[in-house]
A and B are shown apart, each in its own frame.
Chain A
Amino acid sequence: MAGEYVKGEFNIKPMDQFEVKGLFSDGGPNGIGDIFMITNQTLWLALTVLAVVALMVWGSSGRAMVPTRMQSAAELVYGFIRKMVEDVAGKDAIRFFPYVMTLFTFILFANLLALIPTSFSPTSHIAVTGVLALLVFGTVTVLGFILNGAGFLSLFWPSNAPAALRPVLAVIEVISYFVRPVSHSIRLGANLMAGHAVLKVFAGFAGALGLGAVIPIAAITAIYGLELLVAVIQAYVFTILTCVYLKDALHPHH
């Protein structure tokens, strides 16, 4: 798939950057036998985790009364997510704060590290975001049944609708419940992928225009700023949706 890059021509191959390649072998993973292959995906997922650890463990291990810059950033993130969980999912949802915090920091750093030139963006793959969304979906569903028993099903039962319509509406509710993980994952993955592809398209123009390359480079700069915004907002959106779903699991009757 990766074609030759010819100097002085349009080299617009925006999707090449999403290719999963082995770091120590040619080509990408092929079949179940390559499940433990170390790829660029593995590398950047690991770097994401390292970045989170660097901020939350190393950065705030000083536990100073007057925080350093790193510590204060870590505390800011902590306070922000804690408040979000409290406000959106309710006070009793605070026991799920570690999970929500993990999700946020992981997605945030994966998105931000993906903005480093020549890096790989794990969260632009629906496979990654899909797993994250399915984990949230599974957790919330199982949790709902554990905490509320069969009462969780009242989430799908429209008690204030005419009796004849209720079964039909219940089916609609169930289907729209299953829409959640789909939109949850596609939203994050598609946003990231689109942004990075656009960057590459403009970069492809820049190679062929000579002095005129100033224009696409300026555009890249602007889009890069937008992508920074997207990276943070999409992490935030993913997290807040998780909180909304958690609220439904804790309090299905409303």
Chain B
Amino acid sequence: MVLGKGRWPVSETPDPEKLKDLSARIEAAQSARAPEPPKETKYEKANMAWQMVIELVAGMVIGLMIGWSLDWLFGTLPVFLMIFGLLGFAAGVKTMIGTAKGLSTPPGRRQQDDPDRGPD
């Protein structure tokens, strides 16, 4: 018998049954106290829509800017402008889809997507 911090006798090997029971109770208590997932209000949805528009336009503008600069550098005016305009559009769509994905998954779940995430 060893006296624990709380002056209660602590056995050397904890009873697995008791531990399991305890962890089940802790889990129950935690899930009871967990905040409800925040609801997406109308305002937030409008906000998301604006976000997507901005992303789409920003992607295209950045692509066009890169293309135009390359053309200015090499003196091949429409070539890179066209290529990077399209690439920028694709980038805008990609970011937009990313935002839309974030909208469709409930906010509480987003972190459990990649459990193997860690320092590497």
Residues of chain A touching chain B, judged by Cβ–Cβ distance below 8 Å, are: 87-88, 90, 92, 168, 171-176, 178-180, 182-183, 186-187, 190-191, 226, 229-230, 233, 237, 250-251, 253-254
Nearest Cβ distance between residue B37 and chain A, in whole angstroms?
Answer: 13
Q: B71: shortest Cβ distance to chain A, in Å?
A: 16
Closest residue on chain B to residue A194 by CB atoms = B50
Q: Using A90-B117, A90-B118, A176-B92 as known contacts, list a sample of 4 further A-B pairs with CB atoms less than 8 Å apart, ordered by residue number in A.
A: A176-B59, A176-B94, A180-B95, A183-B58
Tell me whether B43 and A179 are in contact (CB under 8 A): no
Q: Does B76 contact A (CB under 8 A)?
A: no
Tell me how far the C-beta of A29 lies from the nearest C-beta in chain B, rounded to whole angstroms. 28
* Interfacial residues of chain B within 90-120, with CB under 8 A of chain A in the complex: 90-92, 94-95, 111, 114, 117-120
| Number of B residues, CB within 8 Å of A | 27
B94 touches A183 (CB 8 A): no
Q: Judging by beta carbons under 8 Å apart, are A168 and B87 in contact?
A: yes
- Is the beta-carbon distance between A175 and B87 smaller than 8 angstroms? yes
Give the docked Cα–Cα distance between A216 and B23 (Å).
Answer: 57
Are A251 and B120 interface neighbours, CB within 8 A? Answer: yes
Contact B118 A179 (CB under 8 A): no
Please measure, in the bound complex, the distance between the C-alpha atom of A233 and the C-alpha atom of B38, giving whole angstroms: 12
8 Å CB interface, B72-102 against A:
84, 87-88, 90-92, 94-95
From A87, A88, A172, A254, B87 is in contact (CB under 8 Å) with A172
Contact B54 A175 (CB under 8 A): no
In the A-B complex, list the 3 residue pairs whose CB atoms are closest, starting with the nearest: A175-B91, A176-B91, A182-B58
**Chain A residue contacts of B51, Cβ below 8 A:** 183, 187
Cβ contacts under 8 Å, B95 to chain A: 176, 179-180, 183
By a CB distance below 8 angstroms, the chain A residues around B84 are: 171, 175
The 8 Å CB contact of B94, one of A88, A172, A178, A182, is A172
A173, B62: Cα distance in complex, Å: 12
How near does chain A come to B99, taking the closest CB pair, in angstroms? 9
* Complex: A178 Cα to B58 Cα, angstroms: 9
B62 touches A179 (CB 8 A): yes
**A254 CA / B115 CA spacing, docked (Å):** 10
Residues of chain A with a CB closer than 8 A to B118's CB: 90, 251
Contact with A along B55-69 (1 / 0, CB 8 A): 100110111001000
Known contacts A175-B91, A176-B91, A176-B94; is-contact A183 B55 (Cβ 8 Å)? yes
A190 / chain B contacts, CB cutoff of 8 Å:
50, 54
Using known A-B contacts A179-B58, A179-B59, determine if residue A92 contacts B91 with beta carbons closer than 8 Å.
no
Kindly state whether residue B44 has any CB partner on chain A within 8 Å.
Answer: yes
Question: Contact partner of A171 among B58, B87, B92, B120, CB < 8 A?
Answer: B87
Which chain A positions have C-beta within 8 A of B114? 254
16 A–B contact pairs at CB < 8 A? A90-B117, A175-B59, A175-B66, A175-B84, A175-B87, A175-B91, A176-B95, A178-B62, A180-B95, A182-B61, A186-B54, A187-B47, A187-B50, A250-B119, A251-B118, A254-B114
Find the B residue at minimum CB distance from A182. Answer: B58
Is there an interface contact between A182 and B119, defined as CB atoms closer than 8 Å? no
B43 contact set on A, CB distance < 8 A: 226, 229-230, 233
Q: Which residue of B lies closest to A176 (CB)?
A: B91
Separation in Å of the A252 CB from the closest CB of chain B? Answer: 9
B54 contacts A182, C-beta separation under 8 Å: yes
Residues of chain B within 8 A (CB-CB) of A233 are 43-44, 47
Contact present for B117 and A251 (CB under 8 Å): yes
